[in-house]
Amino acid sequence: MVSTNDFRNGMAIEVDGQVFTIVEFQHVKPGKGGAFVRTKLKNISTGAVLDRTFRAGEKFRRVRVEGKKMLFLYATPEEVVLMDNETYEQLSLTPALVGDSLRFVKENMDVEVLMVDGRPTELVPPIFVELEVTETQPGIKGDSVGGGGSKPATLETGAVVNVPLFLKNGERVKIDTRTGEYVERV
């Protein structure tokens, strides 16, 4: 059990039967009445962020959250299969649990799986990935005058991102998986 006095950013607790991580918190001691703690909590399963206020000294069950490096093997419409890098055991997740996080992940790429009390809850791709452009419109000479133009490009994973006009099919690009944006040509 953990008290509101022990709160730390990033700590995982159970509130009303659901697991949340503490995004930020603030202890408040008004002139009148009892002290309380204002928190911003992120639901681990849904990703929703909510504001909650608790009385000082309230106790919650602390939840153990750990990240585990795994190798993405393949995905079908029914399952996403990963392999533990240390034990070589395979783990099968549902596509609903994985969500949109495989957009920029290709086979045999390392990913992180967040485990809450030993149960997988979220798949986190690497922050930056290098992928090949498989399909994009050719740039027209003089298109790049003035800078800032962009065009859609399909990557080897099937994801579509906006890239600068000078990029061609077969070139490799670096993508930020948090925002889904082009970073640079590799």
Q: What 8-state DSSP symbol labels residue 5? A: G
What is the pLDDT, as a whole number, of residue 67?
Answer: 86
Residues of the chain with CATH 2.40.50.140: 65-124, 128-185
What is the pLDDT, as a whole number, of residue 40?
Answer: 93
C-beta separation of 54 from 103 below 8 A:
no
CATH fold, domain 65-124, is OB fold (Dihydrolipoamide Acetyltransferase, E2P) (2.40.50)
Q: Which helix (H) or strand (E) holds 40?
A: strand 36-43
Residues of the chain with CATH 2.30.30.30: 2-62
For 66-104, how does the pLDDT look when each residue is reduced to its tens digit (9 = 90+)?
889 999 999 999 999 999 989 999 999 888 778 788 899
Q: How does 18-38 read in b/e, with b if 16+ C-beta sit within 10 Å?
A: ebbbbeebeeeeeeeeeebbe
User: The tokens of 14 are what?
Assistant: 């159970």
Assess whether pLDDT exceeds 90 at residue 155: yes
**What is the spatial distance between Cα 154 and Cα 163, in angstroms, rounded to a whole number?**
10
CA dihedral of residues 12, 47, 41, 84 (deg, nearest 10): 10
Half-sphere exposure of 79 (CA within 13 A, CB side): 7
**What is the spatial distance between Cα 81 and Cα 60, in angstroms, rounded to a whole number?**
34
Nearby residues of 86 by Cβ (< 8 Å), 6 or more positions away: none
In this structure, whether the domain defined by 128-185 belongs to CATH 2.40.50.140 is answered with: yes
Assess whether pLDDT exceeds 60 at residue 145: no
Query: Is the model's pTM score more than 0.75?
Result: no
Mean pLDDT of all residues in 148-174 = 90
In this structure, whether the domain defined by 2-62 belongs to CATH 2.30.30.30 is answered with: yes
C-beta separation of 148 from 109 below 8 A:
no
**What is the spatial distance between Cα 33 and Cα 28, in angstroms, rounded to a whole number?**
11
